[in-house]
Amino acid sequence: MIKHDRYGEIVQLMMGRKMNGTVLYWTAAYLVEGLLIDTGCAHTAAELCQFLGEKELALVVNTHHHEDHIGANLALQQQRGLQIYAHPLAVPLINRRLPLRQYQEMVWGYPEPSQVLPVSDTIATRSYSFQVLETPGHASDHISLFEPEQGWCFSGDLFVSENQKMLRSDEDIDGIIGSLEKLLLLPVKELILFTSIGRVFTDGKSSIRRYLGYLESLRGQVDRLAGRSLDPSEIRDRIFGRETRLAELTGGHFSVLNLVEQLMGAQQ
């Protein structure tokens, strides 16, 4: 399923596989003057191509290599002959078929490998110039696109909530914090964050500060409980009550425990 919304010049495309009448997980892509940022998942590739139809489309940038961001790369490349760019570390990951967990295959599907090129430092459209920022943490090949005149920042999966309780098992919390601190230093008063789950934070810097404050406070709690020799799962239960159901559904790929363990590791 695909739906769209507009934020001035920006078209937000929300995509997700519908099963039993429910969309399992919404992923956003953004279209600005022929620049498409991310391409959703494989299950919605045909719908995205159809939606884009004859619309202006000059190039694609993937924020990182995860399967819910590159799913329509090949279809768009074949249909429109587009050039696709990503972080140099993402290039060899997108150019081949990567193994997926069972839940990933169900929710997003296998992206067909596509030929992408290393992105340069800036991306220009007719009216806008985007700085390509390295923002690792969620993935080591994660980039964000920042348009300084407009204050727009397309931040992919780097930041999705002010009080996120779960992490993927391969995320790096210190990397995430460092990347968010980098965004706080961007030379704009108003930073508008366009996230890959579709949430748009119009006062992005305040939202980032609140998230960093939340992580700091959480780290303090984890540290105190670890000091009393509680193990990570006991610490999780003390702070959050219990694990989320998503941890079971994803075989531990997404979990509260991952966040607690990362915060414990980050203290050492």
| Contacts with 143 (C-beta within 8 Å, 6 or more apart), sequence order | 61, 63, 64, 86, 87, 119, 132, 133, 134, 135, 156
Q: Is 171 a binder of Zn ion (CB under 5 A)?
A: no
Q: Closest separation between CB of residue 157 and Zn ion, Å?
A: 4
**What residues between 201 and 230 interact with Zn ion by CB under 5 A?**
none
Looking at beta carbons only, is 65 or 205 nearer to Zn ion?
Answer: 65
Distance in Å, CB of 29 to Zn ion, minimum? 13
Contact track, Zn ion, 139-158, x by CB under 5 A: ------------------x-
Residue placing its CB nearer to Zn ion in the complex, 139 or 235: 139
Query: CB-wise, 66 or 236, nearer to Zn ion?
Result: 66
Helix axes 204-227, 173-184, angle to 10 degrees: 150
Considering only the stretches 62-70, 94-102, 105-113, 129-137, report the one whose residues sit in contact with Zn ion under the rule CB under 5 A.
Answer: 62-70
CA 65, 152, 171, 168 torsion-angle sign = negative
CB of 67 to Zn ion, least distance (A): 8
Sheet holding 200-201, edge to edge: 122-124, 129-134, 143-147, 152-156, 192-195, 200-201
By C-beta, is 38 or 147 nearer to Zn ion? Answer: 38
Residue closer to Zn ion, measured from CB, 139 or 222: 139
**Is residue 66 involved in binding Zn ion (CB under 5 A)?**
yes
Residue 168 touching Zn ion (CB under 5 A):
no
* Shortest reach from residue 136's CB to Zn ion, in Å: 12
Q: Which of 158, 153, 121, 162 is nearest to 137 (CA)?
A: 158
CB of 72 to Zn ion, least distance (A): 16
Instruction: Select 87 or 235, whichever has its Cβ closest to Zn ion.
Output: 87
What is the contact surface with Zn ion in residues (CB under 5 A)? 66, 157
